[in-house]
Structure 1
């Protein structure tokens, strides 16, 4: 016959269960929040597509470009154009420039959002430098493209149909470079 836990033992078991549950929920919160933002456009999170829009409207949207750099990354970073007027659904191609002003190689990753937040669901990126890390050598500069369009469904959504001015904003953060796949592969043997 199984032995019953004492009241203190039950309390300890319940507390361990609560701690394990809270740990699991904390671990799942970041990927769930990221998924939620990508699906809903919450917080100005943009969408990603492999193709361009097949519909172009006669209505124009103005896209403004903003750039920021985290203080611990020795780079300058700026949009190469301050704004672009496009028809809704028309493909746009904008460029940003980054310069490593330090004396060491630095790797950065760009975070991004759009404002107003309601437009995030309709701002579609096709290609973007923000999808990968960027490593710059001392003094190196690079021009980085972002290809995008504003989904025509924007005008059919009663919450966002009034939006005709969108700001695309990036902030570069310092990151440690990811190790190449070769670093994890078995070493070659010499015959």
Structure 2
């Protein structure tokens, strides 16, 4: 093989390696949004579903097929170590009818002397119930800014889809835990 053929072969291998590295970098950036999409669609990892008021009305009509079956909902509130807030549910547990909308309230208080903007992450346990736990309205959908010493009540409007009763892995669950953790919001200016 002459040196020109070897150079062409080396250039081709180098180009393929470069394109492979570029593809891996792109997949690294796409991994987080793709994983979030996967979790939202499947309820994997306790990710709840987001529902419209119309979907909630349909679930309430389907609730008749649930025969008035009830389920206990446990509420949990946490804060990251860098958030100087007090954050907790107003009720530790509530018993609701499957398919019927209910509302829960959390309270948050900024214990610092500066405004703090936080964002809540959430999950549902046991994991297999995440795809049936639907939130219509939630403080977790947007960032929350609390002024120094400010205390607020934050609602969560939700329902448990009656389809949970047809799922062999979830139909016998007696209690679902809805847990939130507040983190400082990432400042886009920094």
> Is the shorter-chain TM-score for this pair beyond 0.5, marking a shared fold?
yes
Residue from 59, 80, 83 that aligns with 2:93: 83
Q: How does 1:118-157 map to 2 (within 5 A)?
A: 118-157=128-167
The residue aligned with 1:70 is 80
SS at match of 1:89: coil
1:18 has 2:25 as partner: no
Residue from 29, 32, 35 that aligns with 1:33: 35
* Structure with more of its chain in helix, by fraction: 2
1:49 has 2:51 as partner: yes
C-alpha separation between the residues in 1 aligned to 2:128 and 2:40?
13
The residue aligned with 1:183 is none
Deviates more, 1:109-118 or 1:3-12: 3-12
The residue aligned with 1:116 is 126
C-alpha separation between the residues in 2 aligned to 1:36 and 1:145?
26
Superposed CA offset, 1:53-72 (max 9, x none)? 22223111000000110001
Structure 2: which 5+ runs fail to align? Answer: none
SS at match of 2:62: coil
RMSD between aligned residues: 1.5
Superposed CA offset, 1:23-67 (max 9, x none)? 111111111111100000000000011121222231110000001
Superposed CA offset, 1:135-162 (max 9, x none)? 0011111100000000000001112111
Residues 155 and 161, structure 1, Cα contact 8 Å, conserved in 2? yes
TM-score using structure 2 length = 0.88
Structure 1: which 5+ runs fail to align? Answer: 180-191
1:89 is displaced (CA, Å) by 0.7
C-alpha separation between the residues in 1 aligned to 2:157 and 2:113?
31
C-alpha separation between the residues in 1 aligned to 2:38 and 2:28?
15
